[in-house]
Chain A
Amino acid sequence: MRGWLALVLGLFAGAALADGAVHEFQLDNGLKLVVKEDHRAPVMVSQVWYKVGSSYEHDGITGISHVLEHMMFKGTAAHPAGEFSQIISENGGRENAFTSQDYTAYFQTMEKNRLPVSFELEADRMRNLTLPEKEFRKEVQVVMEERRMRTEDDPQSLTYEQFNAAAFVNSPYRTPVIGWMDDLENLRVDDLRRWYRKWYAPNNATLVVVGDVDPDAVYAQARKYFGALRPSEPEAVKPRHEIEQLGRKDIRVKAPAKLPYLIMGYKVPVLKTVKAADSWEPYALEVLAGVLDQGSGARLSSELVRGSAVAASAGASYDAWERLESLFVLSGTPSTNHGVAELEKALLEQVRKLQQTPVGKDELERVKAQIRADKVYEQDSIFYQAMQIGILETVGLGWRESQRYLERIEAVTAEQVQAVARKYLIEDHLTVAQLVPQPIEPGKEKTPHRAGVGGHVR
């Protein structure tokens, strides 16, 4: 196996050479610019990342970061509501935005020469949003529809939301990114204005450009469009460390559904929250997640979906690049003739095995081989490359972490995987949620009227 490892490491070195150079710039007003060259196609992606998301929110205004993201398309004095999307569209661009717990980001993917179009519009809405009351009233309705679609009417999402709220006590990761419906209903445009003034400023943002561009030219354009923006008064963000969990928590969520569903989460650190000496731990947790769920050959598929066939599906997830202490999550749907209790038992057995026996050499190698190859594959997407840089900058780890990632993963040993399993996957830090299906009336079809349906519309 050793010879093979050397071979693949050698391959990676070749691929790393193909990986484009990253250039970092800083504007006087605090805006950071990171540019990565990728000259494969005459296109570029431009992203603006703000250090704000649902984990910056407090009770009563949950979801405000996401609503503000929607309102960022609702106009400035220079470009009234709707114009942003119209201009990007006419330039052949694709644009969108996303909000998470840790960040809010906006992007345009365009032909490479249209970078100034994107910069002009993004710079304008960084400081000059008008936030009209009338637009807000409509848009918050759209967000409530989004919430209904994503959460209220999806029993697994609903369970996940309740699970999260039960797992965390004082960490802001407790609340959903989209916000509680009650908070959305009571949100006011003035709340948004305050939120916008506080967080939307060059010294709280990172500009990321990846594509067929010249870094110095991008820097010149960035200074031209963003250079004059005033910074805001920085305000220290409270740490809001989650208190220690003192025993297993169990919740049940009853909702109309056909299938039961199980989610189990252990409190775990992330790279940002561990001491320097323990910085291998999050990477060991990533490898541990891989041993369970990296590919169809990994343990959950092999032993739970095939093997004992107790699960119709099962997964494990962990993200080392979050801002605050997080969760290592196991989830799944029991197969027919098996209940949630059996699935839970099987998942706990998997955890026990990881604690008791070091992962086999071949198994560890397989996980690493896939992560190595993924580093090459991810270069096929300029969007994904930009996204990695943006996340790392925004959670405060710095984009260089992405270049260290593989090396850190390679260094993880079987003993380390066992050690983090023992240290962190402990029952007192576990939260378990199960979806208890409530009857859905069998989908009755009715044909209320047959008429020229479209013919009498006015």
Chain B
Amino acid sequence: MKKKGSRLLLALLVTAWTGLVRALPDIQSWTTEKGARVLFVEAHELPMLDVRLVFDAGSARDGAQSGVAGLTNGLMDQGAAGLDADTIARGFEQYGSKLGNGSERDMAWLSLRSLTDERLLGPSLELFAKVLVEPDFPQDDFRREQKRALTGLEYQKQKPDSIAERAFYRKLYGDHPYAGDPSGTIETVKALTADDLRDFYRRYYVARNATVVLVGDISRRQAEAIAAQLADALPEGKAPPELPKVRELKQAEQVFIEHPSTQSHVLTGQPGVRRGDPDYFQLYVGNHILGGSGLVSRISQEIREKRGLSYSAYSYFIPMKRKGPYQLGFQTRNDQRDEALSVLRKTLKDYIDKGPSEKELASSKNNIVAGFPLRVSSNARIAEYLAVIGFYNLPLDYLKTFTSRVEAVTTEQIRDAYRRRVHPGRMVTVIVGGKTEGEPHS
């Protein structure tokens, strides 16, 4: 299937913090005995439940062992409480339930989707608890997954987009924990041992470092019992120290990485905003106009619609615990990359100089406010958003006040925020692609 535009994807990235409507379901919240924070939304329409446990155990906690967080998370269902990987996988499958896991820079998580009939939900939760609380990290499975992780790193080297992203973060963050890729490096992954994973697990997969999210067809009492069954089976432990602040870039830097591709992948940007940033709404709405609203955004209009230079051209903030990237990018035939890059830079500069028009701002507000109900139209989405609210300690009324905060943003505030916070003269630019001599074929 070929999709037109990556605007769906981009819209999701930009709005990952989003809002609740669905007649604004109430978020119920409490803390378990051992200190895990719980967020719960009752949804009785479908006989199913989504459970997600989120830990501050992403690659920002890797330290010198780049990749340890990801491997730890990935090994948990490969052997637990004496059960082997096959038994665990088939255990969930026979009940029709689905185990999920993943880790990024800030978060690592385990999730379960199950039907709520007690004869299926009960045993699914029991197995889920084993994976969560008693992972064994067996030596053979560790060796195999380590090898597969190394194969994954080789795979990235044949993908210009992956190469560009790794380099972009490295240049943006220098010695900050966000610099490393969650998949690690060949050198550091090779050096890991199963004991390293056990140590990482013991340190970070603890109740005081956990957020529990529940969405589905259960009562508050059931939710309390399930949250306790899972989170309170973990040691209490403690939350890790805060991550260091991100240093601003001092000067512009451009990196070219040669790759035998017909296109160049170009990323440019700087450290952007953190969750709860006082300028957040101004920058979010501002960027929606500039490059965050898909084909109607200024960047897409200039690069794709007016000039046909790229399939996807965008900008977005990725808000994180500390300042996540402000990233602008596109891909284009190698011989067009300079042209496209200067269009991108000029579009950004004009925007900072003059700011958005009243009409543009009104359009973007319409899009965000009228589109609000879509963001919470499924249990899966609500669960993702609860994870973000819980993990980043956003206030529980954050969603209820969301549209009004968007409505309150003015063109002058956007211009002011962009001038103070976005510095095109001090951005990192990464280009991955072919040399331009002998190009193009067309």
Contacts and interface: CB of A to CB of B under 8 A. Distances in A.
Interface of A: 7-8, 11, 14-15, 18, 40-43, 66, 69-70, 73, 81-82, 85-86, 89-94, 96-100, 109-111, 114, 137-146, 148-150, 152-155, 177-178, 181, 185, 256-259, 294-298, 301-302, 305-306, 309, 312-313, 333, 335-336, 362, 365-366, 369-370, 372-374, 376-377, 379-382, 437, 440-441, 443-455, 457-458
Given A42-B22, A142-B310, A372-B96, A295 B89 contact: yes
A130 to B, nearest CB: 16
B380 interface: yes
Contacts of A333: 151, 155
Given A42-B23, A142-B304, A450-B251, 6 more contacts: A14-B47, A92-B366, A94-B8, A148-B262, A377-B113, A445-B255
Contacts of A365: 94
A149 to B, nearest CB: 5
The contact size tier of chain B is 35 or more
Nearest to A444: B258
A377 B4 contact: no
A69 B432 CA distance: 30
- Most-contacted residue by chain A among B98, B115, B152 (CB, 10 A): B115
B380 A381 contact: yes
12 contacts: A15-B46, A91-B366, A92-B374, A94-B7, A137-B308, A139-B308, A146-B2, A305-B148, A312-B148, A373-B97, A446-B257, A446-B258
B22 A41 contact: yes
A282 to B, nearest CB: 20
B191 interface: no
B257 A445 contact: yes
B45 interface: yes
Contacts of B258: 441, 443-444, 446
A40 B22 contact: yes
Contact of A457 (B163, B304, B346): B346
A258 B157 contact: yes
Contacts of B432: 443
B412 interface: no
Contacts of B345: 453-454, 457
B120 to A, nearest CB: 7
Q: Which 5 pairs from chain A and chain B are nearest by CB?
A: A92-B370, A373-B96, A454-B424, A92-B371, A138-B308
A443 B257 contact: yes
A366 B46 CA distance: 22
Contacts of A446: 255-258
Given A302-B86, A336-B150, A452-B252, A444 B257 contact: yes
Nearest to B376: A41
Given A18-B45, A141-B309, A148-B333, A98 B3 contact: yes
Nearest to B166: A443
Given A93-B371, A369-B95, A457 B332 contact: no
Contact residues of A: prevailing secondary structure: mixed
B296 interface: yes
Contacts of A137: 308
A382 B256 contact: no
A157 B90 CA distance: 31
Contacts of A96: 3-5, 7-8
Contacts of B152: 312
Contacts of B85: 296, 302, 306
Contact of A336 (B92, B147, B158): B147
Contacts of B3: 96-98
A111 B373 contact: yes
A413 to B, nearest CB: 19
A312 B151 contact: yes
Nearest to A103: B1
Contact of A382 (B11, B167, B363, B377): B377
A78 to B, nearest CB: 18
B18 to A, nearest CB: 13
B398 interface: no
B225 to A, nearest CB: 21
A141 B307 CA distance: 9
B311 interface: yes
A187 B370 CA distance: 39
Nearest to B84: A306
Contacts of A377: 48, 98, 113
Nearest to B77: A296
